A and B are shown apart, each in its own frame.
Chain A
Amino acid sequence: MKDLTVSRRAMGVASLLEQLNRRIYANEGPTGLKPAQWAALRFFLMAGKDTRTVSGLARFMGTTTGPASRSVKALVGRKLLDAKAHPTDKRSTVFELTDKARFLLENDPIIDLALSVSNMEVGKLEQLAECLVEIGTLLETRRQGSDE
């Protein structure tokens, strides 16, 4: 049987992180976009012209091409991405944000969060970033361990 004993402190921190995650997307309005789809839109906003592909998105998100392809398909269906032929590689398709997507990204829920933390002291932000990186690594390690 799995040992599920965790300290009250650890559960408190985990609960705060989970609550924050929910609150980030609580006021986004009627877009119906999932967090992974918002992340995909941000990727296509920032990516270079040769990486705006399904495989570029998959590499960025650390997934296989299946989930990335499904995200892209959903965004194309919502008219947030346009598919175009790759300028040099005819076997590949690149995706561009539509005007509708650019408008949506002006109200990206992550902006609210960034503005909220922007007045925090730099040292605190660095410590927070390092803690979050460590938590992400620990979670990944734990999940890899439970897959084996």
Chain B
Amino acid sequence: MKNVLLVDDDANVTEGLSEILQRSGYDVTTATSVSEAQTCVDVMEQRLDLCIVDLWLDESNGLDLVKALNSTDKPTPTIVISGGGPGRTLEQVMAAANALGAEATLQKPFTGEELLAVIDALGN
């Protein structure tokens, strides 16, 4: 069983993606903010295999989470998902996510098949 942390402030997204991932055999933990996600990361420690994070979480900067996940001795593979938001373009944010260590990026909307294909490509 692979442990996935799914971070998105949209309950519809976390519910839908959780179902897709669980059907494919993943153990999914969800968080709705960067601070909640950071707590999950601390609790899960070495058991975390993959983090999927939306980059326009309310009141927080998901890029900080991407950086934190990839600044440890054992970086956590990170997939950034986003549908756009205020302040920066999706193009800028996706590039920044890659530069800070994200393994893959996916623009919303995407299908479950596309997400699973990206995860497979990461070797998870």
Contacts and interface: CB of A to CB of B under 8 A. Distances in A.
Task: List 4 tightest A-B contacts by C-beta distance, closest first.
Answer: A62-B89, A129-B99, A48-B110, A60-B90
A48 B71 CA distance: 29
Contacts of B108: 51
Contacts of B89: 60-62
B99 A48 contact: no
Contacts of A60: 84, 89-91, 94, 107
Interface string B53-89: 0000000000100010001000000000001100111
Interface string B83-124: 110011111101010011100011111110010000000000
Contacts of A66: none
Given A48-B110, A62-B84, 19 more contacts: A48-B106, A50-B109, A50-B110, A50-B111, A59-B84, A61-B90, A61-B91, A62-B91, A62-B92, A125-B99, A126-B71, A126-B100, A126-B101, A129-B96, A130-B100, A136-B92, A137-B87, A140-B87, A140-B88
Contacts of B91: 39, 43, 60-62
Interface residues of B, number: 24
A47 interface: yes
Contacts of B114: 48-49
17 contacts: A39-B91, A46-B105, A48-B107, A49-B114, A50-B111, A56-B107, A60-B90, A60-B91, A60-B107, A126-B67, A126-B99, A129-B96, A129-B99, A130-B100, A133-B63, A136-B88, A136-B92
Interface of A: 39, 43, 46-51, 56, 59-62, 125-126, 128-130, 132-133, 136-137, 140
Contacts of A130: 100
A133 B91 CA distance: 11
A36 B89 CA distance: 14
Contacts of A48: 106-107, 109-111, 114
Contacts of B92: 62, 133, 136
A47 B107 contact: yes
A54 B112 CA distance: 22
Contacts of A140: 87-88
Nearest to B63: A133
